[in-house]
Amino acid sequence: MSLSTPPAAHFRKAAASSPQQACVMVYRDNHRTLLWDDKLAHPVATAARPVPLEECLTLDHHQFEALQAAIRADRPIRGALTVTRGADGLYEFSAAPACRAAAGTARLFFDHLEYTAFVHAVRHREFERSTFLSPAA
């Protein structure tokens, strides 16, 4: 089964991020969790245009829950996603080698403020699957 790619408007970022600030973007549905960098958005992108899947990292829900658990416990991030801090200070999100076939080959780069906002959101449970699947109020 091939799943359609959601538009940018269906992704969420940390509440601590300002509307103009780029950030780690998260999308969750019944089947998967996608991570995306909104700095990759095409300049003329509309909110309804699907985000290119090759710009996303695709995790199953178990993999994303493991990532969140590691962040909340201040443990090293291991598993489907690797997060490394480069000499330039940027945090690179990429799929672990054994998971690239399923997770994708995108490499997403975030500065310290973007990464810190993501971690804060994870710790405050902003990306819980139930909040994505609940009907809009």
| 106 burial level (CB within 10 Å; 0-12, 13-18, 19+) | buried
User: By the 8 A CB rule, do 67 and 28 touch?
Assistant: no
Q: What is the pLDDT of residues 27-83, one digit of tens each?
A: 999 889 999 998 888 766 566 788 999 999 999 999 999 999 999 999 988 889 999
Read off the pTM. 0.89
